Amino acid sequence: MNQAHEDKIVIFITIDALRPDHLNSYGYHRNTAPHLDNFIRHGTKFTNTFTNGPETPSSFSAMFSSILPYLSGGYSPLPLEKLIFPQILQENKIHTFGIHSNPNLSNYFNYGRGFEIFLDGERFKGRETVKKAVSIKNTIYSLVRKVINYKNLFYSIIFSIPFFNKVKSFIRNKVPKITDLLLPFTPMAYNAPYIVNKVIDLLKKNKAPLFLWMHFMDVHSPYNPPAKFVLRFRKKDFTLSERKFLIEQIYPNNAQDSITPKNIEDLKVLYDAEISFVDDSLKVLFSFIKKNLNQKCLVIITSDHGEAFYEHGMFGHQGSIYDELLKIPLFIREMGEDKNLKICKNFVQLIDIAPTILNYFNLDIPEDFQGINLYPILHGVELERKGLLITECYQKGGILKRNNFEGFKLISIRTHDWKYIIDEEKGSEFLFNLENDPVEKYNLIDVNREELLNFRLIKDYHLQKISEKDEKSRIVDTIKNLNI
Ligand SMILES: [Zn+2]
């Protein structure tokens, strides 16, 4: 083992669908996450962080492999040839723990690789899951689930129970361990209090070197926060039918033309209340970290993508690639280095996470990793990078697709001032000048031909090389060196 990393700990926190502009630390008017904001006062806040995938599968593929989603065999399932950084940590005898409850991140999609302990809070519900479930326990669970989930009968029954939302909220908050019992039968996955309890247990029992990843799903739709968090931002809780109506708007293609500005504001209240719900649990975790892990510990907090609130006619985060989905928060705090808050305005992206963690453990960064190491920024080193970011996924009819044979390409390429989008399904292109039009409303493809041609060149270069794996490093160099 490398002696240099033997007593280090990395705690990696990802919060699904968390928009930076819904945090007070990024200028939001509501104090949604006071404990998070307080914790990062001694860390580094990155104000221009972007995802490389606008939804979970493409985003996490980039985050864990440090390679853009389309490259090296695609992104979902995560190809086995795509090395992910927990594998490198494990090879170097660093303990690796992961806990999540997003089916897209389950072992079924190869996210369990490299983890000594991997707690799959929500298994993928594909038919193949039954084939994979070889243990007697899992086989029985699968069969029972098949019976009670027959044509969603089970869901229909439980959702028709009066006050089901309130009962569920109460259970989530008060008895998180019940999720373990109910998990095989219900959609009640790991929630924030449960994850934090579990993580603290693991931290108490295990020693450095250690990498611990936890992923929170509470902020992800359907937003169904306990009433007490809604009451922080509203005088009265929503009724069950109000909640039901609002939640139904989020599903792809569900939003009606009759959606009103008040509906949008109400949805934001529910979303903000979910952020507060997670923040309440983070308070417990942060106090444990401050008390017990006050040195040689790096805490990284980010999200996989944002969330839309009808800025471009949709909610949620599918089938779109506008900035409400691409901008994400990023905080890094090095425990024991209690400096004042540092703000980094450089463009950074999710492919930079893996190199940063490897570097903190003094491990070599593989040559084909496309991201850069952000660790020196924490110590005042200026970042040298040209502003070019690629975000990409496959989609069809506004729904995420996992592979090129299932869906169409949706790509965004951006520099500091310009953003280019190509939507293969609709055959349309967009060009926005972000300096004058940060909300991406005015398509300039017919006005700024020169910029358009530059972006087309980059796009063609990026796509043309996908099939030529042996030239991958050349793509990386070229993308890094392109200057427009
Ligand atoms: Zn996600």
Please state the rounded mean pLDDT for residues 221-250.
87
CA of 46 to the centre of ligand 1 (A): 20
Query: How far apart are alpha carbons 3 and 305 in whole angstroms?
Result: 36
- The structure tokens 């991201």 sit at 371
CA of 443 to the centre of ligand 1 (A): 28
Secondary structure of residue 372 in the 3-state scheme: coil
Contact present, 92 and 2 (Cβ < 8 Å): yes
Helices (H) and strands (E) in the chain, counts: 17, 15
Strand-strand pairing, 210-216 and 95-100: parallel
CA of 50 to the centre of ligand 1 (A): 14
CA of 14 to the centre of ligand 1 (A): 9
CA of 352 to the centre of ligand 1 (A): 18
Query: How far apart are alpha carbons 326 and 307 in whole angstroms?
Result: 9
CA of 313 to the centre of ligand 1 (A): 19
Contact present, 10 and 363 (Cβ < 8 Å): no
CA of 410 to the centre of ligand 1 (A): 17
Closest listed residue to residue 458, CA positions, set 388, 392, 386: 388
Quick: pLDDT tens for 193-220. 889 988 999 999 878 899 999 999 999 9
The pocket of ion ligand 1, defined by CB under 5 A, consists of 16, 56, 304
CA of 17 to the centre of ligand 1 (A): 5
Quick: pLDDT tens for 285-314. 999 999 999 889 999 999 999 999 999 988
CA of 462 to the centre of ligand 1 (A): 25
CA of 271 to the centre of ligand 1 (A): 14
CA of 154 to the centre of ligand 1 (A): 26
Taking all residues of the chain, what is their mean pLDDT, rounded to a whole number? 85
CA distances (Å), 270 to each of 10, 226, 250, 370, in order? 31, 9, 12, 37
Contact present, 429 and 421 (Cβ < 8 Å): yes
CA of 465 to the centre of ligand 1 (A): 27
Q: What torsion do the CA atoms of 277, 280, 282, 286 make, to the nearest 10 degrees?
A: 170
- The structure tokens 């934001």 sit at 268
CA of 304 to the centre of ligand 1 (A): 5
CA of 68 to the centre of ligand 1 (A): 16
Tell me the Ramachandran region of residue 410: left when phi exceeds 0, alpha when psi lies from -120 to 50, beta otherwise. Answer: beta
pTM of the model as a whole: 0.87
Closest listed residue to residue 15, CA positions, set 263, 459, 319, 329: 329
Query: How far apart are alpha carbons 468 and 451 in whole angstroms?
Result: 27
Amino acid at 264: I
CA end-to-end distance (rounded Å), the chain: 44
CA of 83 to the centre of ligand 1 (A): 21
CA distances (Å), 131 to each of 273, 370, 379, in order? 39, 35, 50
pLDDT at residue 2 tops 70: no
CA of 446 to the centre of ligand 1 (A): 34
CA of 41 to the centre of ligand 1 (A): 26
CA of 69 to the centre of ligand 1 (A): 14
Of these ranges, 95-109, 129-143, 298-312, the one predicted with the greatest mean pLDDT is 298-312
CA of 315 to the centre of ligand 1 (A): 14
Please state the rounded mean pLDDT for residues 48-72.
96
Quick: pLDDT tens for 156-177. 565 556 566 566 656 656 666 6
CA of 217 to the centre of ligand 1 (A): 8
CA of 102 to the centre of ligand 1 (A): 8
Total number of residues shown for the chain: 484
CA of 210 to the centre of ligand 1 (A): 25
Quick: pLDDT tens for 379-393. 988 877 666 899 999
% of residues, the chain, pLDDT over 90: 59
CA of 270 to the centre of ligand 1 (A): 17
